[in-house]
Amino acid sequence: MCGIVGIVGNFNIQQLDSMLRSQHHRGPDATGKYTDASFAALGHNRLAIIDLSVQSNQPFLDSSGRYALVFNGEIYNYNELKASLQNQYVFKTESDTEVLLAAFIIYGTDCLQKLNGMFSFAIWDNQNKKLFAARDRFGVKPFYYSIKNNSFYFSSEIKALHAAGIPKIPNEKVWASYFAYGSYGNPDETFWQDVVQLPGGHFLEYENQKLQIKKWYSFEEEVAKQPKNLTYAQAKEHYLTLLKDSIRLRFRADVPVGFNISGGLDSSVLLAMVNSQENATSNNNNNNNNCNAYTFYTNNGDYDELPWVEAMIAKTNNPLIKVLLQANEVPVLAHKMGGQQDEPYGGIPTLAYAKLFEQARKDKVLVLLDGQGMDEQWAGYDYYTQENEATIQGVHDSPYKINMLSDSFLAKVEKPVYPQPFDDVVLNKQYRDLFYTKIPRALRFNDRISMICSTELREPFLDYRLVEFAFSLPLNFKIKNGVTKFMLREIASDYLADDLVFTPKRPVQTPQREWLADDLNVWVNECFEGISNSNYSSWFIQEELQKELRLYMEGDFQSSFHIWQCVNCYELIFNLKRLI
């Protein structure tokens, strides 16, 4: 897990240095640079997870010196790939980095189909003066780029592009759509002008000042290839086999591994599989035995999931590290997080989650697993079977307050329209959440909050084999008698008590609504006042903005999303000078 940067075209080395400094948190263990005359410069911040030796530092060159690689992420099946390449490439390290470069040299772009991992990487061919870059199937690891003055810039975080001199100007279409529809942009968009992201499952080639982007992963085609007409028992057995293998692969690390846990079903499954893996490796000195579990709480019984977490952990005896978030911490944490995230993020739960990584780093646990991705593959949200376009669980009224927006700002709004590649309504909603809404934004939030603490987050439930297979199963395998994720619950019940795995879904929450209205009242009012006095106040109708704030403070807080949007916006835009 690292940070990558690069410039193809006219550059000075000071630009590359500034980019690397802005991303130092992503890789504090080593910083490296590579230049090819005046053609290209690559940079890398390394967080050492696999093969900790200096021989695996990056940029990484093949033995001929033709190819230079900068890579962010992990190739989980690197041992298997390495074995298949032994007769065609002479390896000098034990790293997945070298396996990735060897696979590219041997297979070309077809290497991407062979990778099981989370990755964004760039390879410079100094013979043909050509850049190749790619991103994993679901976009777990980020890749941003910009073209300025006939030069191509790329990085792992947006701030690095701004550090290189790309102007920091809000993309008002994306911001307006965020306020009006809660959209975080299309897969290639960001909240900043002239900053683009490579969508997950795509690669790019840049040569002679020409950019080509191609899709290398077709989810729809892979779903169609899945086994057909399986019985319920056969499907359950096959999924469990894949699930165990996914966890096994993600235990590969040369540093301690832990996991994040809440009181929900997905965490129950994660806990069960982690301990199944621990038991399987207990006799081979694996350093992940009895690994730490991390959870957060707020001392609010209406929201905290500690009783469920402690009941789960009591069955396995993993060390449980409980991390407290208090209301008075939020303004400082939000200020810091605004600078780290670069774009709007999920709210106070994101701040609480971030504290887990901070604690894990203190404990020298550098890799954490979590349960992201189960709801999208198993149709776990209530709105999947409802006739609406909702993307938020458990909210009945619209969380968006379009009445706050000025006519000129509203004119820039673009209502998101999502592809519907399947003949089934539920599948299309799952597809939307997987590639356009839920998963892309959660992955971005989580990448930033893990990397700000120089830790690595792995998402075992987003193994593409799991997602494709679960997605292909009949709906009655997923929802039965009104119980969502039914097969998954049955799998978990083989390891944990039914009262832990057949409880209704509880969103991971904090007392955000109450805190914003009460404990954080002064801070929230300051943020709204800052909006009104800013250069961007024309985005809003000031009377409506103040009206919504007043109504909220008087107790109308069925949803706090519009309040958080404004607070988040203030931290990211209206306090813009602080972040540049």
Distance between CA atoms of residues 81 and 96, nearest Å: 9
Distance (Å, rounded) from C-alpha 544 to C-alpha 574? 19
Residues in the chain, total? 580
Q: 45 - beta bridge partners? A: 3, 31
Our measurement of the distance from residue 251's CA atom to the centroid of its chain's CA atoms, rounded to an integer in Å, reads 19
Query: What is the sign, positive or negative, of the torsion defined by CA atoms of 89, 5, 341, 47?
Result: positive
Q: Could you give the CA distance from residue 409 to residue 423 in angstroms, rounded to a whole number?
A: 36
**CA-to-CA distance for 512 and 507, rounded, in angstroms?**
13
Assess whether 2 carries a catalytic annotation: yes
C-alpha 247/C-alpha 253 separation (Å) is 12
> What is the sign of the dihedral through the CA atoms of 30, 31, 37 and 39?
positive
Q: Which residues of 47-70 are buried (b: 16+ CB within 10 A; e: fewer)?
A: bbbbbeeeebbbbbebeeeebbbb
- Fill in the amino acid letter for 343: E
CA-to-CA dists, residue 346 to 106, 159, 183, 184, 564, angstroms: 41, 19, 12, 11, 9
Phi-psi region at 482: left, alpha or beta (left = phi > 0; alpha = psi -120 to 50):
left
Question: Is there a binding annotation on residue 370?
Answer: no
| Integer Cα distance of 172 and 536 in angstroms | 10
Sign of the CA dihedral with 470 first, then 475, 479, and 481 last = negative
Coil, helix or strand for 486?
helix
Judge contact between 459 and 140, C-beta under 8 A: yes
- Decide: helix, strand or coil at residue 357: helix
Instruction: Give the amino acid at 298.
Output: T
In contact, 155 and 19? CB cutoff 8 Å: yes
Strand order in the sheet with 130-135: 60-61, 67-75, 117-125, 130-135, 202-207, 210-215
Q: Give the DSSP letter of residue 26.
A: G
Residue in this structure with the two tokens 């109450």, named with its chain if needed: 514
Residue located via tokens 């009224």:
397
Separation CA 17–CA 495 (nearest Å): 50
CA distance 2 to 104: 19
The label of the residue with tokens 């939000």 reads: 334
Q: Report the C-alpha gap between 577 and 560 in whole angstroms.
A: 27
Rg (CA), the chain: 23
Choosing from 2, 111, 453, 569, the catalytic residue is: 2
Q: Which residue has tokens 């879904």?
A: 505
- Positions marked active-site: 2
* Binding site listing for L-glutamine: 96
